[in-house]
Amino acid sequence: MVHRTESLPLFDERFINYGFNKVQWIENLRYFGYEFYVLSHAYAVDIPHSLSGYAMEYRNEFKSKSVDMLGLYRRFLVSMRASHKDESRQLLCLRSDKGISKFTHL
């Protein structure tokens, strides 16, 4: 959960549907020094639902590498790092299975 304030960055509108929108937003918050905590005495519920046809199509396209959101995300990271100071307080763990850790400009 994120507390909404006037200074809270908005979602980048280039990232749509299933295309890294939440990933980009959380990385943006992390990079600019927002802190994240584990709530040990609280919980949230997410009710599972079946995948829509659109979601299944997106997953198949992503697996076949025909979705360019990963490329857009990489360009976003390069741009952010080139134009802003890293004020992050949390380490960034990169997953090798998504090909992001091999991206040398991170």
Measure the CA–CA gap between 3 and 1, rounded to whole angstroms. 7
Q: What is the pTM of this model?
A: 0.66
Look at residues 81, 88, 87 and name the one whose alpha carbon lies nearest to residue 106: 81
The four Cα atoms 98, 100, 102, 104 give a dihedral, to 10 degrees, of 170
| Secondary structure (3-state) at 92 | coil
pLDDT in tens, 35-89: 888 888 888 888 888 888 888 887 777 777 666 788 888 899 999 999 999 998 8
Q: Using CA atoms, how far apart are residues 96 and 46, in angstroms rounded to an integer?
A: 27
